[in-house]
Amino acid sequence: MDNLQKKYGFWTATAMVVGIVIGSGVFFKADDVLKASDGDLCTALLAWLIGGSIMIVTAYVFSKIATRIERVNGVVDYFEEAYGSKAGYFVAWFMTFVYYPTLVAVLAWVSANYSVSLIGWTDGVWTLSFIYMTAFFLLNYFSPVLAGKWQVSATVIKLVPLALVAIVGGFVGLTSGQTLENFAQAAQMVSSGGGGLAVATLSTAFAYEGWIIATVINAELKDAKRTLPRALVVGAIAVVVIYMLYYLGISGVLTNDQVLAQGDAAPVQVMSMVFGTLGGTLLTVFVIISCLGTLNGLIMGSARGMYSIASRNMGPKPEVFKRINAATNSTTHSALIGYLFSCIWLVVWYGNFNGWWGQFMDISELPIAFLYVIYISIYIWVMKTFTDLGPVSRFICPLLAGCGSIYIIWGAVQKDMFAHFLVILLAIFGIGMMLMNDKKG
């Protein structure tokens, strides 16, 4: 097999980090972060800063791993390298049956939510969620090449609404004094006990998720040992700056109470107030495209989940799930499993809004918190085995990243139905253990 050419430089890698991370989270988590912060803008901005700082130091640690492990395909391969094939199998099992399908379900709903508001429907959000999810699974099933092209286009478009809200809202807020007023006056419509800084930081983790995917191109980077760490850190810093400017842009036009009242529609309301209905409509279109781009990216991962397990000759029927469709070059049976479990988690998300569970099981955040548990195990491995690194890269950065991970996990423990989600997770792992079928010995 030919080796991949060293064709990418620093700016390409940096753009990839920014493009992957920036998605839907910043649009529909703005009000959640403020609510968890008890309506206080300073606390909300601090949560965005802490969440971003955790991402930056975590990305740096993982860049050190990516530049020395040639066989790189994300966190599954890192964990497998650190703790063996069975450990890697359980991480792959988690990604396949929990991480990807939960986020696919949430993103389908977010995309449908914005679409319904644009069309002016009073209902139909759940039907459209199912249609979006089905359509993009079919796209990845029948034409993975076209799905990849859509991903690139959506990445460029998704920066437009962030820039518009940040620039316009920031200018308006500084000239009108609204930004300073929001810093001085917390929202009144939030009852105390919104969760606090740790829960608010957990909400930002959804918006900051995805940077790990950028490590897969290390084999194609020129001078990867220098380029990848710099690209991950600079890209992560850029995302933090963009997000905080966007958040300030919203606060320049809307009061804290209005941000909470508008919910996910806050950025659209900002543009409508400044530019009228047309401005709000155009921004909504950009936001929908951005959300669908993120949805497509997650489905690309979800469609390959069982394939990743089967390619290791593990799990149920590996000879079936590692088959590739010769005509479309797609992971046929693996994609069907991804679609099935995305549908199941969409029902769970639907149940949240219809009071089925008694409380709200936030599957947009809880799976991400568990991913940070996996990260901590990897940091321990780095500190034990990367003896050639200096003390900062080998000990200080992993320790800082570990503390950040613990802080995010602590936020998750305080969420409603954390214990219920943990029980579901353990049951899924139990099924995975029974079906491991370790042919590798």
Could you tell me which residue, 212 or 106, shows the higher pLDDT?
106
pLDDT on residue 279? 81
- Separation of alpha carbons 309 and 290, rounded Å: 30
165-181 pLDDT, tens per residue?
899 899 999 899 999 99
Tokens 């990807």, residue located: 100
Provide the token pair at 179: 């930004």
10-434 is classed CATH 3.30.230.10:
no
Q: Do 139 and 147 form a contact (C-beta atoms < 8 A)? A: yes
Q: Do 376 and 405 form a contact (C-beta atoms < 8 A)? A: yes
149-162 pLDDT, tens per residue?
665 666 667 778 88
Angstrom distances, CA of residue 225 to CA of 69, 229, 418: 11, 7, 39
324-355 pLDDT, tens per residue?
877 777 788 999 999 999 999 999 999 999 99
pLDDT of 376 > 90? The answer is yes
Q: Do 397 and 59 form a contact (C-beta atoms < 8 A)? A: no
- Separation of alpha carbons 356 and 359, rounded Å: 8
Provide the token pair at 394: 């080998």
- Separation of alpha carbons 378 and 215, rounded Å: 15
Instruction: Summarize the confidence of residues 75-90 as an average pLDDT.
Output: 90
8 pairs with which residues across the strands? 221
Tokens 């990867």, residue located: 224
**DSSP for 39-71?**
T-HHHHHHHHHHHHHHHHHHHHHHHHHHTT-SS
- Separation of alpha carbons 167 and 246, rounded Å: 8
Could you tell me which residue, 23 or 351, shows the higher pLDDT?
351
Task: Determine how many CB atoms are found less than 10 A away from the CB of residue 385.
Answer: 12
Q: Angle at the Cα of 234 (from 230 to 237), degrees rounded to 5? A: 145
- Separation of alpha carbons 63 and 380, rounded Å: 15
Q: Sign of dihedral through CA atoms 287, 368, 430, 330?
A: positive
- Confidence class for position 438, pLDDT limits 50, 70, 90: low
Provide the token pair at 91: 């991480």
Angstrom distances, CA of residue 402 to CA of 58, 83, 198, 387: 8, 18, 15, 18
